Structure 1
Amino acid sequence: MSDGAGGATPAARAGRPATGGGHSTFGRCLYAVLWVLCRTLAVSVFGFRVRFAEPLPATGGLLVLSSHQSHLDPLLLGLATDRRLSSLARSTLYRFKPFGAVITALDAVPIDREASALAGMKTVIRRLEGGAAVILFPEGTRTRDGQLGDVKGGFAIIARRAGVPIVPAAIVGAHECWPRTARFPRPGRIRLEFGSLLSPAAVAAMDDEALVAECTRRLAALDTRARAALGPPFATR
């Protein structure tokens, strides 16, 4: 296990971002610069701490299943590990070409919200089959009260079709730093806990209901662990 500002596992080391293969020179350089700057800010402003139950796979498709507390979450997950993690982005964000170039360099997955849910799933599955690590927030929206919401089952179909492992992750403190009602974030303390992997074989062995129940249980346990690590007032919830 590892515990630190950025983790210290083979696939999740602190101190340097992943800049390797398959990306343009612009993308690698931009990612490296933004990673270092944002990680420094996250640690200094939010006291950002990360714990891994085991190393993340360094390569191959991976579904990161995370609780969703604030707009900070995709950024924090990406700063936790030196493996590049892809977040979903509305396709309309690509209309402004300079911004589209930036989020493309950051490995965002474009999703057309006006298209069917099936089309969005297929896009994510293709990215996973291509070896990417993709972040999904199974609650579907940010929490309103800082508590873990209902976990929806769409991820189960994606993980099973793509044949990839699932790693659960829970974020605590981000809601207090940037609740839905606030326009801007404020300083605070944030903890991110990564759990043990669910292998593709384990995923395939469970039906959707059982898989959702198991992932819900794991997310809740990680949420509790993160609150205990942060201490009051988080641990009293």
Structure 2
Amino acid sequence: MYYIAKFVVKVFFKILYGLHFEGRENIPKDTTVIYACNHRSNADPPLLGAGGRGKFAFMAKEELFRNKLFAWLIRSLGAFPVARGKGDTGVIDTAVERLNSGRSLMIFPEGTRSKDGKVGKGHTGAALIAVRSDKPIIPVGICYGEKLKFRTPLTVKYGKPIYPEEYCEISDNPNPRQLVKLKNRYMADIKLLVEGEPQANEDKKEENADE
């Protein structure tokens, strides 16, 4: 069922939106990973899953599990509940367990959907999970116009892996400052994938201002 759903999603978005992927060669084949992605719409989880390798796990708000039939469906697709705003520390343990059991994790570090398409500052949750699991982070950018409309060019870009040991000592209780440095790195990579390099004319403005 999982792979059937993945195939259907991929075909659906290819037909309606011309979906294509960039940078899938950056995804390691020998380990599960943490996909850290920008967040713009409810379509983001299936879009992210369609181009990734293997099976996924992902967090979903606990309210979605109240309906038994829907709860069964999303659990079968890799979802596990999180109590938002309640300091649910157990969700970190669950995420690490899923990674170690053979499922990659998708996470949206901004914590909420962007209203203007720009990438926000993000949170350190993905960094903490990476350090505790010793799994690489793959920055991902879902890119399209102002809104996701029919035949809107739609691209999912996968960046190069970021290895947590380059920023933090692998530990169950990592240094908070090191976590922030790791977070800043993957958020900067996501922003680069989504928004691209700074425009040349902006650079010229800065040069002229210095003269």
Question: TM-score normalized by structure 1?
Answer: 0.72
Q: 1:123 maps to which residue?
A: 94
Q: 2:18 maps to which residue?
A: 47
Whether the 8 Å contact between 2:38 and 2:140 is mirrored in structure 1 is yes
1:151-180 deviations in Å (ceiling 9; x for gaps): 222222221111111110011117511xxx
Change (3 A) 1:95 1:53: closer
Rg bigger for which structure? 2
Q: CA deviation at 1:43?
A: 0.4
Q: Which amino acid aligns with 1:50?
A: F
Whether the 8 Å contact between 1:69 and 1:174 is mirrored in structure 2 is no
Report the secondary structure of 1:101's partner residue: helix
Q: Residue 168 of structure 2 is aligned with which of 196, 204, 207?
A: 204
Change (3 A) 1:59 1:98: farther
Q: 2:122 maps to which residue?
A: 151
* Unpaired segments ≥5 residues, structure 1: 1-29, 178-184, 229-237
Report the secondary structure of 1:54's partner residue: helix
Ranked by relative contact order (alpha carbons within 8 Å, sequence separation 6 or more), the top structure is 2
Larger deviation, residues 87-96 vs 137-146:
87-96
- 1:193 matched to 2:157: yes
Q: Which amino acid aligns with 1:38?
A: V
Whether the 8 Å contact between 1:159 and 1:203 is mirrored in structure 2 is no
Q: Residue 162 of structure 1 is aligned with which of 129, 133, 145?
A: 133
Give me the whole-angstrom Cα distance separating, in 2, the residues matched to 1:208 and 1:81.
25
The CA RMSD measured in Å over matched residues stands at: 2.4
What is the number of residues matched between the two proteins?
191
Structure 1: 4+ residue segments shifted above 6 A = none
Q: CA deviation at 1:149?
A: 1.3
Q: Residue 55 of structure 2 is aligned with which of 84, 104, 128?
A: 84
* Unpaired segments ≥5 residues, structure 2: 170-176, 200-211
Residues 11-160 of structure 1: pairs in structure 2 closer than 5 A? 30-52=1-23, 54-113=25-84, 115-160=86-131
Give me the whole-angstrom Cα distance separating, in 2, the residues matched to 1:53 and 1:107.
21
